[in-house]
Each structure stands twice: as structure tokens, then as C-alpha cells.
Structure 1
Amino acid sequence: MRFFLAPAWPMRALALLVLVLSVGACSHVPISSLPQLATLDLETADLTVLRAAVRAPKEIVAVPGGAFVVMSYWRQGDEARKTTVQALLEVETDPKALAALKEEERAGMRITLFRLTEEGRRKLEAARSEALALKSDELAKGRRASGSLAVSAEGCVRSALPAGPLLLSTYLRLKPGGNFVTLIQDIDLRTLLAQAGSDESAMKPCAN
């Protein structure tokens, strides 16, 4: 089984952005990231070290309980019947972990780092075991299985958004002490919203 790292890691302000990003973000994956992505082994990775990060305008804030790793797996040719599992993420506040993204800091931007909750880790490990069992079963029958991994993080708007592009970048780390791999680099949320027939007025304000 080969797991695909889906390029949809949105700090989303409304649900439709997940769908739009999955279509529009591919061209924003840096070419320099491709060799690093090819070396990430999701089948054996220690999920306790999994970290995902989003860089977005500082006016957009992560909503607690709104971030998930989404794992899907299916028999090849039968994606319509795929199994999908959501594992909850929480904000990582360890300064040492945040320091690994120091070079990605930009004026007017906020980097939010996530890690799996204990329950989320157990849920994802169980889903991975089931996916690998499916792989083994399908290989015995001369067939293949496939899988994907993506992250979605819900965001709200705390204050008036700046004029111009609302740039979003996303990152992933699966190796202890390793570098973060850039998955999406500077994709414009306003452009994506326009493609979906909407604009930033659809983004929900933060509760407090």
C-alpha cells in the first residue's frame, strides 16, 4: 500500500475550502519538497512525533477541537467505498518544536503547530493497522490497496483581514528532530474563495 500525502492542509474558514484546496493546491507544492515527501514512510512512522503546521495571516486563528488528521484507505479501483478516519489534533506549544519553524516566520503571519492528541494517536494507529491488514489481504489476492493522509484545521477571523492576498502555507514532520517539509507554499485564500463563488465575508468570526 502506498499512502499519498494529500496537499490539502487548509486553515479553513468554511467547509468548502477543504474541497477547493484539494483541487487547487497541487500547483503550490514546492518542487524542492517532492524528494523529501518521497522518503516519508507513513506505514512505519512513529505517530508520537507527527507534527503539522499552518502559516496564515495573524488575523486567522485556529479553533480548538477543529483540527484533524484524516486517513483514508481503499481497495484499488474501489475508492467509492473507502474507509475514512479522523484523528483529533491539538495545538503544540513546546518552544523547541516551534523553533524548528523559525525560518518560516513572516511579518504579519502566524504559525500554528499541531500534534496528535493521545486519543487521536491511538485512533490513527488503529486505522493504520487496519489499512495494512487490507494491504496484506489484497496482495494475497493479486490486488492492491491505496491510502491517503491529509490534515484540516478550522480557523476563525479575530479582526479585520488585510487587503491583498491571504497567503497560506502548510508543513509536515514525521521524523523525530527532522525538518518540516513544505506541503503548500503561499496559496491565496481569497483566490480559492473566489473560485468557489464566495469571498472572505463567508469566514466566521471568532467567538471571543
Structure 2
Amino acid sequence: MPRRFSLPRLCAFSASIVLSGCGHVPVTSLLAMSRINFETTDIAAMRAALRIPTAYQARENRMIVEITQEGKPPHRSEFALERVTSASELSLIGSEKRAGTELVVYKLPDPMVAKFEEMRTEARKAKEEKRKGSLTIKLEPDFCYVAEPPKGSLVFSTYLRTSETRSYVAVLQDLDGFSQPEFAEKIRVMPKC
């Protein structure tokens, strides 16, 4: 049976999910996320979404893939994400909209899907050869402020949709970016749009 992503890797996956801790992962999401197998999931069908206050705008977001393999230097690749604006896609997450917020959806652009598949194939080959290693996927959102810089609070939520979940699953729910020291530093230097 294929190895499924562990909870720490799922935490690493969601938005700047370099954010430490899974304290804001809804319990109801854990079961749905446990079904995701990042070794086999259809990466072209994967979508990531953010709910952010309208006082901010999502800018260029990226996915970072890090592969470590025994006997080889770590490999890091960055993939620019493409914003999805189709009404059909946005309707799948429309129930998460709240007053004063915006929903933003991203996907991996088609040319980058092939590059990601090459990296995933390399990781599978290493596993078959019984070489120790890991594949980590992180999303790094980038924001700018519209009128005033953030002061003391920036609450956002992140969502994931895969071929296994079929619908959007909350990964981080109502996380205050200022509650995470390393993310708070990035917020403090956020540029004006």
C-alpha cells in the first residue's frame, strides 16, 4: 500500500504552512486529508485556496517542492501558481465566503505539472531502491495591503481540493498570521499594493 502523507507533512503543505503547528486544522478535515496520497494524487486536479480579508490582496503565490534523498544533496524547486477565476471552480468553495473577505484559488500551471511529475517519479524511484528520503510540498502565499498595513491581526484560512477529496477541505481555519512568529515577521514588512 502506498505511503500516505503524515499529519506533519499535511501541515507543511498548506499555506505558508511553514507555519508551525496544526492547532487550527479542523478535526473534521483530518479524515478527509488522511485520504490524500501525494504519491499518486492527480496533481493537475489539485487546487489550493485562501480566504483573506479584503483589506489585502493575494499576489504571486508559489509552491515549493523539496526532495531529500540519501547520498544526494537536497533538491528544491519553486513553481509559480496560476490563479483560477472560473465561476465553476469558485462555486465549489463559495460556501466559505464571509463578509469582508475574498476567496482566491490557485492551481499548478499545466507546463509545471510535467516538471512536478518528473520530481515525483524521482522520489518514487528512490523509494523503490530503498533509499531514505522525503518529498515536502509547501505553499507560500504572498500578500500586499490595499490601504493600511496590518496591525496586530491578519486572520486567514486555507483550503485544499484533490482528486481524493473532490471538494474543498479546510486545512487551516481562521489562523491569525501574527500568532506565528516567523509569519508575523513577513506580515510586518508586507508591501502596499
| TM-score (norm: length of structure 1) | 0.78
Deviations along 1:20-71, whole A, 9 cap, x unmatched?
Answer: x5243421111211111110011111122110001111121122xx212222
Which secondary structure does the structure 2 equivalent of 1:124 belong to?
Answer: helix
User: Could you tell me how far 1:191 is from its partner in structure 2?
Assistant: 3.0
Contact 1:6 1:148 in 2 (8 A): no
Identical-residue share of aligned pairs (%):
27
Q: Structure 1 residues 23, 53: closer, same or farther in 2, change over 3 A?
A: closer
The alignment status of 1:169 with 2:157, answered yes or no, reads yes
Q: CA shift at 1:172, angstroms?
A: 0.8
- Of the candidates 72, 77, 84, which is equivalent to residue 66 of structure 2? 72
TM-superposed CA distance for 1:84, in Å, is 2.0
In structure 2, what is the Cα distance between the partners aligned to 1:199 and 1:151? Answer: 15
* Residues 8 and 151 in structure 1, CA contact (< 8 A), matched pair in contact too: yes
Q: Secondary structure at the match of 2:23?
A: helix
Q: Contact (CA 8 Å) 2:32, 2:165: kept in 1 or not?
A: no
In structure 1, the gaps of 5 or more residues are: 11-17
Q: Distance in 2 between matches of 1:45 and 1:200?
A: 32
Structure 1: how far apart are the matches of 2:183 and 2:117? Answer: 34
Residue 108 of structure 1, CA deviation: 0.6
Aligned equivalent of 1:157: 145
User: What is the number of equivalent residue pairs in this alignment?
Assistant: 188
Among 121, 124, 131, the alignment partner of 1:132 is: 124
Helix, strand or coil at the partner of 2:153: coil
Match of 1:122 among 99, 114, 135: 114
Q: 2:11: which partner in 1?
A: 6
Distance of 1:94 and 1:197 partners within structure 2 = 32
Which of residues 52, 57, 68 in structure 1 aligns to 2:53? 57
> 2:158 is matched by which residue type in structure 1?
T
User: Runs of 4 or more off by more than 6 Å in structure 1?
Assistant: none
Q: Partners in 1 of 2:142 and 2:121 — Cα distance?
A: 27
Q: CA RMSD in A?
A: 2.7
Offset from partner CA, 1:111-162 (integer Å, 9 cap, x none): 1100111222122111111111111112xxxx54322222112111122257
Bigger fraction of residues in strand: 1
**In 2: Cα distance, 1:90 partner to 1:100 partner:** 17
Q: CA deviation at 1:89?
A: 0.8
Deviation at 1:164, TM superposition (A): 6.3
1:173-184 alignment runs, 5 A limit: 173-175=161-163, 178-184=166-172
Q: Which residue of 1 aligns with 2:189?
A: 202
**C-alpha separation in 1, matches of 2:140 and 2:68:** 20
Does the aligned pair in 2 maintain the 1:2–1:146 contact within 8 Å? no
